[in-house]
Amino acid sequence: MNDYDLTQYCDYVARYIARDASDIEQAIDWAHESADGSEYVVYNAKAHEVCQNCNIDQGEDFFSECYGGEHGKSYDDIAAIMAYGEINARICARLWEIFEEREEEAA
């Protein structure tokens, strides 16, 4: 897994969600579910792979916002949380783009 592959993966998930979601709110809910169930979050080795090989700025921000300084989390937990934060942010960003494009086309 590298940054390009992660972006492609998140784009695929976002397009799949956008196809069936009735609105952006439903799409964002499904994005959270998709990120939470992603193999790159569920499996520790894959979460570590994301953290080691990809830009995880958004994942680090997510972790800091949720857990702050003292958290008592294991290394595996931290990797999974950061991978979730990064994947969720990328899926949601792509969903916003897709729904904005739809609005422009409809106008």
Residue 72 has pLDDT above 90, yes or no: no
Burial class (CB in 10 A: 0-12, 13-18, 19+), 101: exposed
**pLDDT at position 44:** 95
Is residue 12 within 8 A of residue 96, CB to CB? The reply is no
Mean pLDDT, residues 65-79 taken together: 84
Is residue 71 within 8 A of residue 22, CB to CB? The reply is no
Domain span at residue 82?
A: 3-106
**pLDDT at position 100:** 96
Mean pLDDT, residues 89-94 taken together: 97
CA–CA gap between residue 17 and residue 15 (Å, rounded): 5
Mean pLDDT, residues 21-37 taken together: 97
Confidence of residue 58 (pLDDT cuts 50, 70, 90): very high
Confidence of residue 106 (pLDDT cuts 50, 70, 90): confident
Mean pLDDT, residues 70-85 taken together: 89
How many domains in the chain? 1
Identity of residue 71: H
